[in-house]
């Protein structure tokens, strides 16, 4: 929150890690955190689903739109780069 107070124009990307939740619970927790911290994007994932190369995640906008569902760390990085470059 303090980052947006100090520099409201900054594009803030938040990362939310949960454990043992449904897709809807993950989405709700991520959105609540994103809104509380005034982030511009949130990358959310569940620790129980992360395996070796598999790193499934949701990338959400403040309005709750799922912008991407990357499946690996590389895909997360690529999608974030694309989304940030488009801003």
pLDDT per residue, tens digit, the chain (87 aa), is: 688 889 889 999 999 999 999 999 999 999 999 999 999 999 999 999 999 999 999 999 999 999 999 999 999 999 999 999 998
Report the run of H or E that residue 50 belongs to, with start and end: none
Cα–Cα distance for residue pair 78/74, rounded to 1 Å: 6
Supply the pLDDT for residue 64.
Answer: 94
Cα–Cα distance for residue pair 36/29, rounded to 1 Å: 11
Does the global pTM surpass 0.95? no
Which candidate, 55, 72, 54, 67, places its Cα nearest to that of 27? 67
In the block, residue with structure tokens 């454990």: 19
Q: Are the C-beta atoms of 86 and 68 separated by less than 8 Å?
A: no
For the domain spanning 2-85, the CATH number is 3.40.50.10300
In the block, residue with structure tokens 């107070």: 5
Domain boundaries, the chain: 2-85
E-assigned strand segments in 1-87: 13-18, 41-46, 58-60, 66-68
């Amino acid at each position: 929150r303090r980052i947006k107070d100090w520099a409201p124009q900054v594009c803030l990307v938040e990362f939310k890690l949960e454990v043992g939740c449904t897709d809807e619970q993950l989405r709700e927790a991520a959105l609540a955190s994103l809104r509380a911290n005034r982030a511009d994007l949130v990358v959310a994932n569940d620790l129980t689903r992360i395996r070796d190369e598999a790193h499934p995640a949701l990338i959400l906008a403040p309005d709750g739109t799922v912008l991407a569902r990357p499946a690996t760390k590389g895909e997360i990085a690529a999608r974030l780069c694309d989304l940030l470059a488009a801003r």
